[in-house]
Chains A and B, each alone.
Chain A
C-alpha cells in the first residue's frame, strides 16, 4: 500500500511540474471549452427557438437553463477528455524512452495508471471546475435537492473519470498509434454521450453505444443532481450502473496491463514508436 502511495506521490509531482503553472493549461482547460460551449449554444439556437420546440424539450423555453444544460455537458466532457489527453501524453513516455524504464521498476502497474489519470485530472480540471461552479452560482442555475447532492455529483464525475483514465492509460501505453485513439475518442465521445444534445434526441443505437462510456451516465447524474434537483433515491439506478461500469473498466485495465506487458516483453516493442 505504501508503495502504491509513493507511486501516486511521484506521478502527482511529475504532473504538477509538467502541467501546473504552465499557462498553456488555461487554453486547453478553460478557453477551448468556453469557446466550444458558445459555438454549441449558437449552433443549436436556430433549432431550439423553432416554433414548437418547447413542447418537445421544455428546457429550451428558458435560455439560461439551456445554457446550463450545455455547460454541464461541457464540464463533464472536459473532465473526461482531459483523461484522454493525459493518456495520450502518457504514451509520449514511449517516445522519450521512459516507458520501458517504468516497466523495469517494481511499481504496481495498476497504481501507475490510476495515479497518472487521477493526478492529471486534478491538475487539468480544477480550472474549469472552479469556473463552472462560479458560473453556476453567479447565474443561479444550480437547483439542488440538498447540499449533499453536490458531493454525490462530484463523486459521480470523479470516480468513473479515474476508472476511465486508468483504462485509457493501459490502452494507450501499449498502442503505437496513439493519435488514432485520441482522434477516435474526441468527437465521437461528445456525440454518443449526449454532451450537446439531450439523450432523447439520439437514436436508440447511439444511446446503446453511449452507455458503454461512463461519461454518458456521469452526465445524467450531474445534470439530474445539479440542475433538476433530483436526490439519490431518484438517481439510484444511474449511480449503481455507474459503479458497475467503473468496476468493469478497472477490471479491463488489469487484464490489459497484464496482456500488454506480456506482449511487450515478448516483442520488445516498448521502445518502438
Chain B
C-alpha cells in the first residue's frame, strides 16, 4: 500500500529501544527463561528468530518432562511448564492488582505531546492521511446514518468516537496483514483504498456491490484488500484470525493476522478459545479489543469483573497492552510495536484500546434510554480523537483551517454523490441468488433457478419488477 511510508529499518531500530519501555504486560514472569533452565528438558531452544524453526518453542514445551522431581530441599518442584516454588502459606492469588493496568498515551486530552512520551514518529504525509481518513470516516457515518433515518437504508452502525482505533491501526499495518473485523472497523478498509462509492454500493446492496447484495449494510468485505467479510456472530472472527495467522506462519509470510472485537465480545467462548490457541500455536495475530464501555446496553461493569480485557492476556500467556484508543499517535505506536513483535517473535499480542461508543449501537438502538446524554457529550467533546490529533498536526505546521474546510466540503460532496449513484443503481440479478452457494452450482440449485425463472415468466404479476432476470 502506497500509504505505508515508514522506513522499516529506522522503525525497527527505534522499536528495539521502545520495546523495553513501552510497557507491554509480559506473560507469566519469565516463562521462557524458566523453560530454558529445565533440568530434564531438551537443550535450551529459547526464542527462535529463525523462521525455519517457528515451532521449536511449542515442541520444547511438549517435550519437557512430564511428572515432577522435587528439589532436594523441597523448595521447588519441576512441573510441566517450568519450576514452581513451594510456599507454607495459604496464599490465594488476588482477584485484581492494587493498581489498575495503566493506559499508554502520547497526546493529552488537549492534543499536547506528553513530556518524555515514547512514540513512533510519523511523517507529515502519513499524519495528514490519518487525520483526513478519520474526518472522512466521520462524514461517511453521519451521511449514512441520516440516510437510514430517512428510510433509505435498512440498517447502519456508526464508528463515531472510535475513528482513531480504526485509522491509526490501519496505518500501522501493511496491506499483507489480514484483517478479521467486527463491524465497527470500516476505517481499515477506507485506509486501504475502499472507495466511498464502494461503501455506498454495499450499503444499498446494488449490482455494483462487490458482495453482490448478500450482506446487510456495514458488513463489508474485500478479498483484494485482505479484509475478511464481516461476521455478524460475535467473536467468531477471533479463532478464524488465529487460523489465518497459522496459515501465514506455515507460509513463512512477513505478515500477521489482525482481529477486532468489543468488550462484549470478550465474554464469548470464542475469545477464550482463540487466545489459548494463539498462545499455544505461537500464531502471529493481534487481538485488538475496542473497549468502548457498552455492549449494546450492557455496561462493562455487567460484562466482566476483571480489570478490563488487558489482564486476560496473561492468563493465556499472551503479551498485552492497554492503550488510549482515542489517541491516534498512541494507537499507531503501540500497533507498530505489537506488529513487529508478533511477526519477529511469532507470538500473539493483545491490545485493549480504551474508547467510547459515541453513537448508538446501531440504528436499531436508542442509547439515551440506558446512558446519560452528559456521558455521551463528555466523550464526544472532551475526549474527541479527531480534535486531539488535529491539534497535534496543527502544532507541527501540517494542517490549517483552510485545509480542514476544503477537506470537509470535498468529502461531503463526494459522499452525497456516492449515495445518489448507489441508490439509483440497479439491484443484483436473479442469478446472484443462486451463485456462490458452492464453488460450482449443483444440479438442484440450477433446477431451482430454472423453476423460479419459468414461474416468473408465467406469473409476472406475482413478482416484483425490480429483479433483473
A and B together in one complex: no
